[in-house]
Amino acid sequence: MAGEEPIVSGMAGRYATALFELAVEERQLDKVKADLDAFDKLVSEYAELDRLVRSPVFSSDEQTRALAGVLDKAGIGGIAGNFLKVVASNRRLFAIRDIVKTFRKMVAAHKGEVTAEVTVAEPLKDEHLSALKAALKGVTGKDVDLNVKVEPTIIGGLIVKLGSRMVDSSLRTKLNSIKFAMKEAR
């Protein structure tokens, strides 16, 4: 198995590797990934939770107690819930976003998936997400996991980053191109 997985280093890599191996061994890889994704989404949406995660002011006991309440409310338990509590008790909660990111990469490599970073002006509907996944699968020949980020400043359209390739069809970029062309025409 060691030859199949990407080489990871650093503290986040060690934690992600340990969780990945446990999830594979327990045959709960998809469940653990879904729980970590849900937690990561909560951290990105709630400033108070982000502060709890990143701030060194809170003791490990305070972080663990607060985290336990958040996990209960979010319905995150099992391996992922226990893992998050261990990370908090070890005073490593500040690195959880990097751990989750590394874990996602390991899961994708294990499943033969690629991840595309997609930036949109407003949230996409499920049918649009499915169509985008299908189009990217046609290009890559692999299953594509979408990491969607909403950024209203692009006005419309979308930006897709897949590996070293990027397609920017945002309205902001098109308007800037027109603006530049008009300046050149003067």
Query: pLDDT per residue over 4-38, tens digit each?
Result: 445 667 999 999 999 999 999 999 999 999 999 99
Per-residue confidence (pLDDT) for residue 2, from 0 to 100: 42
State how far the Cα of 13 lies from the Cα of 150, in Å rounded to an integer.
Answer: 27
Structure-token pair, residue 19: 């969780």
State how far the Cα of 109 lies from the Cα of 121, in Å rounded to an integer.
Answer: 29
Other C-beta atoms lying within 10 Å of the C-beta of residue 87: 22
Which fold would CATH assign to domain 10-109?
Peroxidase; domain 1 (1.10.520)
pLDDT digits (tens, 9 = 90+) for 150-178: 999 999 999 999 988 999 999 999 999 99
pLDDT digits (tens, 9 = 90+) for 57-83: 999 999 999 999 999 999 999 999 999
CATH code reported for the domain at 113-185: 3.40.30
Per-residue confidence (pLDDT) for residue 6, from 0 to 100: 55
pTM above 0.95, yes or no: no
Q: Is 163 left (phi over 0), alpha (psi -120 to 50) or beta?
A: left
Per-residue confidence (pLDDT) for residue 5, from 0 to 100: 47
26: Cβ contacts below 8 Å, ≥ 6 apart: 79
Per-residue confidence (pLDDT) for residue 112, from 0 to 100: 86
Domain ranges of the chain: 10-109, 113-185
State how far the Cα of 1 lies from the Cα of 22, in Å rounded to an integer.
Answer: 13
Residue 56: Cβ-neighbour burial (10 angstroms; 0-12, 13-18, 19+) = exposed
